[in-house]
Every structure is written in structure tokens, then in C-alpha cells.
Amino acid sequence: MKKETKKINLTENEKLCAFLSYLYLGLIWYLVDEKIRKSNFVKYHVKQGLLLLITNLVLGAIMGIPIIGWLAAPLVSLIILGYMIIGILNVFFNRQKELPLIGRYAEKFNV
């Protein structure tokens, strides 16, 4: 049985902020704009973007380890880029879908 997706009505600002959250700029916008903070769609993607930022910082610190980090850095960068693209595509198609493997941890954030 196919899952039915419901149509979400979004403003251009909501969609833009959700998109920018994966480029980390939307996180700042979300914090300063009261109207944007009321959108569940934006909140969901801001949490996913915040999780991606934290993951990127943690993995970046690990990549500082000589030899091991230097060898793994290109692969980690591609994985982070892939997650960003997945998140942006979810925004483009108006979906609230978790990022693979790490997305479930975003709900623990209280933003």
C-alpha cells in the first residue's frame, strides 16, 4: 500500500529558510525571525541542518588526526555534501524526511 503524502502550503520565506538551513545560513535566520520559528516545516529542517553542522564539526575534529584523518577527509567531505543535497532535495519536494543514518537524532534538539 502506497503512503499518501499531504500537500504542505509554504511561503517562499519558509522554503528559502529551510533550504538555507542545510547551508547553515538558515540556522541564523531561524533564530532571529519570529515568524519563521512558527513553521513546523522550517523547524524540522533547521534541526536536520543543525545535526549536519554538528556532525561536520565532530568529523572535522577527527579528520585532524594525522594520516588517518588525511586519508578519510575526502570521503567524509563527500558524505557531508551528499547529506546536504538530500536535505535540500527534501525541501524542494516539500518533504519532512530524516537524513539517512543520522536524521533520527535531530528530534532531540530543542530549537
What would the pLDDT profile of 8-60 be if each residue is shown by its tens digit?
778 899 999 999 999 989 999 999 999 999 999 999 999 999 999 999 899 88
> What is the full DSSP assignment across 11-74?
-HHHHHHHHHHTTTHHHHHHHH-HHHHT-HHHHHHHHHHHHHHHHHHHHHHHTTSTTHHHHHHH
pLDDT greater than 50 at residue 4? no
Segment 51-98, tens digit of pLDDT: 999 998 998 888 888 887 778 888 888 999 999 999 999 999 999 999
* All structural domains of the chain with their residue ranges: 12-108
**Pair 63, 72: CB distance under 8 Å:** yes
7 pLDDT tier (thresholds 50, 70, 90): low
Q: What is the DSSP letter of 8?
A: -
Rg (CA), the chain: 15
